[in-house]
A and B are shown apart, each in its own frame.
Chain A
Amino acid sequence: MRKFLIGFMALLTHIGLAQAHSLDDVVVVLDSGDARITLINQATRQTIGSFATGKEPHHLMATPNSQDLIVANAVSNDLMLLDPKTGKPIGSVPDIPDPYQIGFSPDHRWFVVNCLRLNRVDIYRYDQGKFQLAKRIPLKALPSHMAFTADSKTVYISLQETNAVAAIDLPTQTVLWSMKVGETPAGLWLTPGDKTLLVALTGSDAVVAVDPRTRTILKRIVTGKAAHNFRSMADGRHVLVSNRVSDTISILDMDTLTKVGDITGLRPGPDDMELSADRRWLWVTFRFARAVGVIDMTTRKLVDVIPVGKSPHGIYFYNRAPFYDNLPPLSELAQRVAAAR
């Protein structure tokens, strides 16, 4: 009887531990300066492990079917594939030169790689997990972030050194146009209906709103010093922008193109952000503080800081709020893609 009780207790403990670690609650953080990945338990906010990846992992994203999480190792020239739920390595894709920023077109046909170091944009055809190079487009200088139109015909690329944004036609893989937008443009964001392209100016204290059809700057929205990257609040109306020098996150109203709030009191270098599925917790990497933070969106206060490695950049977790504002839900996209095939 005693043996049975001990065994039963052990089984319960095992189930409890298994639940604690196998639920879809792992936060994946890319420590770009250490070439490592830190895994954090989303619920307890405790670090649960770290492992080596390729050199300079900066950004990550899930594949269109959400089966794999792609980590782009810029200096190793490869992609590492992780289980998006557990963060465990499951494979790799070699020979993808300088993958700094990566993105899939909404129709899942195109995989775009911004080669920041090599000053070019590589466009791959994507089919059932295979990447086939379609074209390399030289684009000076420092192509960094990207945004796709909902019809998958155009991708916008920010060019940090030339203070410009370029538009690339995906079906023909040609540069349609480029325009000056302001100092050191980084993050790009399309508002619902692809009406306005928001461009975060890291060399300035603002986001500029661009009408991509007329190629005119509609408005300059002052946010904070070194506006850098965007994250949807997933309410169809607001988008967050991190400000890397003022150490704040601004909340923008996409309808009125105005700033409606600031989250202050952050650690140095807020960069990439991820929002929990219930919209309550905003996770953010602090690029210059070797840490990630957790912000309670109901109070807009930083409630937790978790030490990670050097230069944490990309961050991801499976249970997250929808990422894009200009695209329909993933389920609808998947149906469209299936119908197109």
Chain B
Amino acid sequence: MINPLDWISHVTSLLVGEVQTWVFVTLVQPVLYHFHLMVDDDFAYDGVLWFLAGLLQIAVVYAVLRPLEALRPLEIWPNRRAVRVDVLYTFINRLGLINLVLFFTLQPLFDSLQEWLRLRGIDNINLDMLWPGVTDRPLVAFLIYFIVLDFAGYWYHRAQHQIQWWWELHAVHHSQRQLSLWADDRNHLLDDVLMAAFFAALALLIGVPPTQFVALSLVSGALQSLQHANTRLSFGWLGERLLVSPRFHRLHHAIGYGHELGHQNNARLYGCNFGVLLPWWDVLFRSADFTTPLQPTGVRAQLPAPDGLGEDYGDGFWAQQWLALRRMARRIAQRTTARTTDSPRKPPSGGQTA
């Protein structure tokens, strides 16, 4: 008897394969050949799959979440103009442009690092091979990698908030005051490349197979789009504790509560709800907040005085990118000055104080 899941997987694989082949052979390979880039044709073939998977993901996420945003909005906005730039960020990220940059900039470094480690007998771990026959089953391996990468994502996210110059890059993400299904990929490009490099290195270290990595990225991206959607959607008491819900994540975006240093919220650290997909880590490390009512989202420094500093985080793509770099440079300069003068640290003007 044919297993329906196997059948769906088989048909999907055939369809995707046909489209991937057509796009690669018709559009990509001739360009590679013409520009003497055939050494990268295997990578480009895989890149086409990333591109198609990203396109499909955007279509599915939009088809599911946009009607929800229209039918059950959490916030009513006069218009969606502020959201438009996030659409651009989404296409840049999910169609694989960041991975492309990573490949051409950091891949040689990765290869050298691997070479160096291997020569010293340091191997990658291949988590799915820990218990042959069990952990190498595709679903089990997927769950293992999902949990391990999410755990790493939790600490990575906390570091983005804790390290001051890094926060200024990550603030691009938090500066969106109209959270929507498009908001997840609103990040500084440098932050994107850092994140992609971190997770690619980790995936390589723990042995995530390429096909699993594509699947993990797709699932993760779709869930994160859901978390940012402007819709009233309850996961229920138990659901909220199993998977990061829109409500849980929206509280992380709350001005002066969810993500900024120095405030005194119940979560005790420097914010709350840092979990990427699983809230378990927030519960475990005491940074979870399931109870506080929802509040407006954004960065405090954006607010007009006296609540904030009225700082401009930019409306357009390039303005947001440039202003973040400037804020980052200012942070680094302040830190350097503080060190050289050995003076007591003053709160910076970037908005990280309550």
A contacts, CB < 8 Å to B: 33-35, 52, 55-56, 75-77, 95, 97-98, 117-120, 136, 138, 142, 160-161, 183-184, 202-203, 225-226, 244-245, 268-269, 287-290, 307, 310-311
Q: Tell me, rounded to whole Å, the shortest Cβ–Cβ distance linking B322 to chain A.
A: 36
Say which one of B41-49, B72-80, B176-184, B223-231 lies at the interface with A.
B41-49
CB within 8 Å for A289 and B39 given contacts A34-B211, A98-B118: no
Query: Does chain A have a CB within 8 A of B17?
Result: yes
Q: Tell me, rounded to whole Å, the shortest Cβ–Cβ distance linking B248 to chain A.
A: 35
Cα distance A98–B45 when bound, in Å? 21
Say which one of B21-29, B155-163, B165-173 lies at the interface with A.
B21-29
Which of chain A's residues have a CB closer than 8 A to the CB of B17? 289-290, 310
Please state if A311 and B42 are interface contacts (CB–CB under 8 Å).
yes
Please state if B29 and A118 are interface contacts (CB–CB under 8 Å).
no
Please state if A35 and B209 are interface contacts (CB–CB under 8 Å).
yes
| Residues of chain B from 172 to 222 with CB closer than 8 A to chain A in the complex | 207, 209-211
Cα distance A97–B210 when bound, in Å? 18
Q: Tell me, rounded to whole Å, the shortest Cβ–Cβ distance linking A339 to chain B.
A: 38
Cα distance A287–B126 when bound, in Å? 26
Which of chain B's residues have a CB closer than 8 A to the CB of A307? 14
Please state if A76 and B21 are interface contacts (CB–CB under 8 Å).
no
Q: Tell me, rounded to whole Å, the shortest Cβ–Cβ distance linking A58 to chain B.
A: 10
Please state if A288 and B45 are interface contacts (CB–CB under 8 Å).
yes
Q: Tell me, rounded to whole Å, the shortest Cβ–Cβ distance linking A186 to chain B.
A: 9
Please state if B36 and A288 are interface contacts (CB–CB under 8 Å).
no
B38's partner among A184, A288, A289, A311 (CB-CB below 8 A) is A184
B29's partner among A52, A161, A245 (CB-CB below 8 A) is A245
Which of chain B's residues have a CB closer than 8 A to the CB of A160? 39
Please state if B118 and A311 are interface contacts (CB–CB under 8 Å).
no
Which of chain B's residues have a CB closer than 8 A to the CB of A225? 33
Which of chain A's residues have a CB closer than 8 A to the CB of B129? 76
Query: Does chain A have a CB within 8 A of B114?
Result: yes
- Looking at A33, A120, A142, the one whose CB has the most chain B CB atoms below 10 A away is A33
| Residues of chain B from 94 to 138 with CB closer than 8 A to chain A in the complex | 111, 114-115, 118-119, 123-124, 126, 129, 136
CB within 8 Å for A118 and B111 given contacts A34-B211, A136-B119: yes
A55's partner among B14, B114, B207 (CB-CB below 8 A) is B207
Which of chain A's residues have a CB closer than 8 A to the CB of B36? 183, 203
Residues of B in contact with A, size category: 20 to 34
- Looking at A75, A138, A160, the one whose CB has the most chain B CB atoms below 10 A away is A75
A202-B39, A290-B17 are known; give 6 further A-B pairs, CB within 8 A.
A55-B207, A75-B209, A95-B123, A244-B41, A287-B45, A290-B14
Task: Write 11 A-B pairs (CB below 8 A) sorted by A numbering.
Answer: A75-B207, A76-B129, A118-B111, A118-B114, A138-B115, A245-B38, A268-B25, A287-B45, A288-B21, A290-B13, A290-B14
Please state if B38 and A203 are interface contacts (CB–CB under 8 Å).
yes
Cα distance A118–B113 when bound, in Å? 9
Please state if B21 and A310 are interface contacts (CB–CB under 8 Å).
no
Please state if B39 and A161 are interface contacts (CB–CB under 8 Å).
yes
Please state if A76 and B33 are interface contacts (CB–CB under 8 Å).
no
Q: Tell me, rounded to whole Å, the shortest Cβ–Cβ distance linking B303 to chain A.
A: 49
| Residues of chain B from 261 to 320 with CB closer than 8 A to chain A in the complex | none
Which of chain B's residues have a CB closer than 8 A to the CB of A268? 21, 24-25
Please state if B14 and A119 are interface contacts (CB–CB under 8 Å).
no
Closest to A225 in B: B33
Please state if B111 and A117 are interface contacts (CB–CB under 8 Å).
yes
| Residues of chain B from 1 to 47 with CB closer than 8 A to chain A in the complex | 13-14, 17, 21, 24-25, 29-30, 33, 36, 38-39, 41-42, 45-46
Cα distance A202–B24 when bound, in Å? 16
Closest to B138 in A: A52
- Looking at B14, B38, B45, B114, the one whose CB has the most chain A CB atoms below 10 A away is B38
Cα distance A117–B124 when bound, in Å? 14
Which of chain A's residues have a CB closer than 8 A to the CB of B42? 311
Please state if B118 and A310 are interface contacts (CB–CB under 8 Å).
no
Which of chain B's residues have a CB closer than 8 A to the CB of A120? 115
| Residues of chain B from 234 to 256 with CB closer than 8 A to chain A in the complex | none
